[in-house]
Amino acid sequence: MMKHEGMIRKRTVWLGIAVGCYFVALLIRLLYLQVLNPEEFTAHAEALWSRNLPIEGQRGIIYDRHGEIIVNNVVAPSVIIIPRQVTDVDAVAYLLAEVLDSTFEDMYDHATNRVNVERIQPEGRKLSHEQVRVIKEANLDGVYLVNDVMRYYPHGNMLAHTLGFTGIDNQGLAGIEALYNDYLMGANGAWQYFSDAKGHALERFSDVYAPSARGMDMVLTVDARIQEIIEREADNAMARYRPDQIMILAMDPHTGAILGNTSRPTFNPAAYQAYDQEIFNRNLPIWSTFEPGSTFKIMTYAAALEEGLMALDDTFSCIGHSMIEGTRIRDWKAGGHGTQTMLEVIMNSCNPGFMHIGVELLGKELLFDYIDAFGFREKTGVDMIGESQGLIFDPAVIGPVEVATSAFGQGNSMTPLQLVTAVGSVINGGNLMTPHIVSEIRHPYTGEVLFARQPEIRRQVISQETSDTMRYVLENVGARGSGRGAFIEGYRVGGKTGTAQKPSPEGGYKANEYILSFVGVAPMDDPQILIYVAVDNPRDTIQYGGVVAAPIARKILLEALPYLGVERRTEQIEKAYIWGDVRYVEVPDYVGMEKADINEYTTYRIEFLGQGTVVTRQQPAAGAKIAEDGVIRLFLGD
């Protein structure tokens, strides 16, 4: 018995010693945390008490070349729940289900989730003003609004395919927004508040606000005014011709800077989810490849001039077709053009003449050397997503028939951007440029230029002398040849039309389906703008590029040239009129004449404005040209 009691006492002593050691160790630890190292203890405590509400960073602003905002940001609040602060779960679930167009059960799950902060997405992100108003007025415990941001497109669908769009988390998903996402994306911030385990705010702690930051700003080469013009004309052409597609591209031929770019069908970047993927994922001027038709003749013609294989006054006799290795290839004009100069060959877009240039003058090897030199077997390197490259014949496996068709733009395929870049080299002095659309990247707060794009010459394809000749040639085409539909009095416009058959998946070409195109340049003595228009399968019209595409380009140039500061010329190649063309007359000088002495019986109409007997001023001014059935306004005084 005594022995048993002794063991109990020993165990009790050892237990006491152990408990004492434990409390001593605990005391030492508390002393260490609260006296010797209080920072670590405080940091652990604050980590347990702190809650972070994310604040989205703003993306960089995108500007046009003159500083007009193309893409901006707007505040778009999102709703979050702090479940432990919710005092009426049913009320929260009912409210959010109605406001967010969701179900009570789904919102109930969000409101009772065992997390510190519950973000409701996607339906709770980027709310409308009305949704925000209803949630604010309800003022329910545990429900908060945080300031997210969303992209704002002040011009609607303008430049949609080029700009692209962003996702729910403001990440770039397409276009420039995706390609330059790392530059445009802003850094997120946070609102840090403190609460106990039940979610009650700890008043002795102040909230901490870590501001978000905006991403880099971006300046495009695009001119918003020119872009607006081509967007409008694309819409008008869609309404007038009901085509499958339309592509319009504008470029500065000297630098490769893209001034405008659009296609139809189009979409609204702010609501891209409402459109089919094949619409918003296809930037047609850089993605779509097709046979260019007669617009390609520009390069064939330039190659022959560069090699000294022909002169403009050399002659060629067209009988309406050519026989190439037993294959009869017809011209577009039944019966042919007869004997014509080589200048008239391109003015008339004579296919047999170009087969002669391609097969007999250049030959296969030289023709395809120039096709490669003009960049048709490679991508242009443009800073946009989704660029394709054409499909060009392998000269090692083709014969004279393919050489002949290649010379006038059939058989090979290419993108509009490849074609425009090549034509730019023909008229800018011979330099093949790298096209680009981003001009600068700037610091969002200081405006400091962090990156500036310089024009990049890929190579020189033809000489300055040949380029000068080609400008003269193309101005003749625009005034006296197939490009007359783009002629503008007082502006020296040059260009080339194209009427390309559409290939059939079963082989051969589709019946009565064409891509009608026009590539135009102005002014030809100092090119400032290069325009390409392609209309895919228009309805209810004559199927010629000169009838459909050239007039669209004319309307664009008619507004773009004065906007660019290009003055009207008093001298230009006179237009060769045919039946149906609008004729122009020079406006006489009426200022100082008596009203009684003015002959009102003219092809144009005269309107007298004001009181008096003498013309004091007139509109348009003397020397200008107007359509024969136009109006001259004469202002009268004493």
Please give the positions annotated as active site: 294
Check residue 477 and report its DSSP letter.
H
Q: Who's near 361: CB < 8 A, 6+ residues apart?
A: 304, 307, 309, 310
d(CA 493, CA 528): 11
Residue partners of 308: CB distance under 8 A and separation at least 6: none
CB 329 within 8 A of CB 321: yes
Query: Which DSSP string do the residues of 571-582 spell out, in sequence order?
Result: --PPP---TTPP
The CA-based angle 551-517-341, given to 5 degrees, is 90
Cα 559 from Cα 242, distance rounded (Å): 24
Question: E strands, 443-547, where?
Answer: 449-452, 457-460, 494-503, 509-522, 529-536
SS3 of 379, please? coil
Compute, in degrees rounded to 10, the torsion defined by CA atoms 350, 351, 355, 358. 80
Task: Identify the burial level of 275 via C-beta atoms within 10 angstroms of its C-beta, where 0-12 means exposed, 13-18 middle and 19 or more buried.
Answer: middle
Nearest to 548 by CA among 538, 563, 558: 538
Cα separation, 165 vs 188, whole angstroms: 19
Those residues with Cβ within 8 angstroms of residue 583's Cβ, 6 or more apart along the chain or in another chain: 577, 627, 628
| Residue 543 Cα distances to 8, 408, 482, 494, 534, angstroms | 113, 18, 13, 21, 12
Phi-psi region of 623 (alpha: psi -120 to 50; beta: other; left: phi over 0): left
> Which residues are registered as beta bridge partners of 518?
497, 533
Non-local CB neighbours of 348 within 8 Å, separated by 6+ positions:
333, 337, 340, 481, 482
How remote is the C-alpha of 99 from its chain's centroid? Answer: 36
Provide the H-helix boundaries in 428-498.
Answer: 464-480
Interacting residues of 130 by C-beta distance below 8 A, sequence separation 6+: none
Contact 215, 91 (CB under 8 A): no
| Cα(397)–Cα(244) distance, integer angstroms | 34
Cis peptide before 588 (omega within 30 of 0): no
Tokens of 488: 């503008």
Helix and strand totals (H; E) in the chain: 19, 30
Q: d(Cα 549, Cα 524) in Å, to the nearest integer?
A: 19
CA–CA distances in Å: residue 85 to residues 117, 127, 196, 454, 456: 10, 22, 10, 57, 60
